[in-house]
Amino acid sequence: MKTITKENLVARLQGTPGTIFVGIEALTDAKARKTGNPAPDGLIFKRVRGAAMVGADYQTSVKNESLAQGGKGEFKAAPLPWGEWLIAGKVISHKGENYLRTQSRPGQRRVAATKVLGYFTKDGAPLSFDAISAFLPEKSESKKQIAAGIAADKKEQVWVNTYKFSSIQKIRIDGQTFRLV
């Protein structure tokens, strides 16, 4: 497998206009409630694999999804709540770290769903879903998307995810898979 540095990934994304599809495998903080959970230090990580768009305009995506679901297609996105765009719609810079911003629409997720491959402690020991499920946060629906005419079911909404570059283990771009170093 080829490798790509974080700097080269930024350059590649900057040099690719418009929206691109990527595949990602990442090890991310599950943002689990720490008190009482079975991880020794309370930290739970999840390994995920999925496909999404990078560089898509969120406001346009929500409008299009609203129209597809019979809504009016009226939606105004709020400004970025944290950090600043290093590459608009693709990479956010925040406190010295870069984050890849992805989004997916319901139809895309039905074809290429993001899957949780497992849960782990900080040291890499596996954790069973049954043992930690009560400590995991629920993905909530967007009230702003509902107001725009998108179904209240979170599975039918536009999802946005940000991946800290340091959490991305593999990324697939233009038919090539890279290990991020």
Q: pLDDT tens across 119-164, in order?
A: 999 899 999 999 999 999 988 889 999 989 899 888 899 999 999 9
What number is the average pLDDT over the span 68-86? Answer: 93
Integer-rounded Cα Rg, in Å, for the chain is 17
Classify the phi-psi angles of 7: left when phi > 0, otherwise alpha if psi is within -120 to 50, otherwise beta: alpha
pLDDT of amino acid 41: 87
pLDDT of amino acid 91: 97
**C-alpha–C-alpha distance, residues 90 and 86, integer Å:** 8
β-strand partners of 3: 179
Amino acid at 158: V
Q: Are 54 and 19 in contact (CB under 8 A)?
A: yes
What number is the average pLDDT over the span 54-83? Answer: 93
Q: Residue 104 phi/psi, 5° resolution?
A: -145, 150
pTM: 0.90
Q: Are 141 and 75 in contact (CB under 8 A)?
A: no
Amino acid at 14: Q
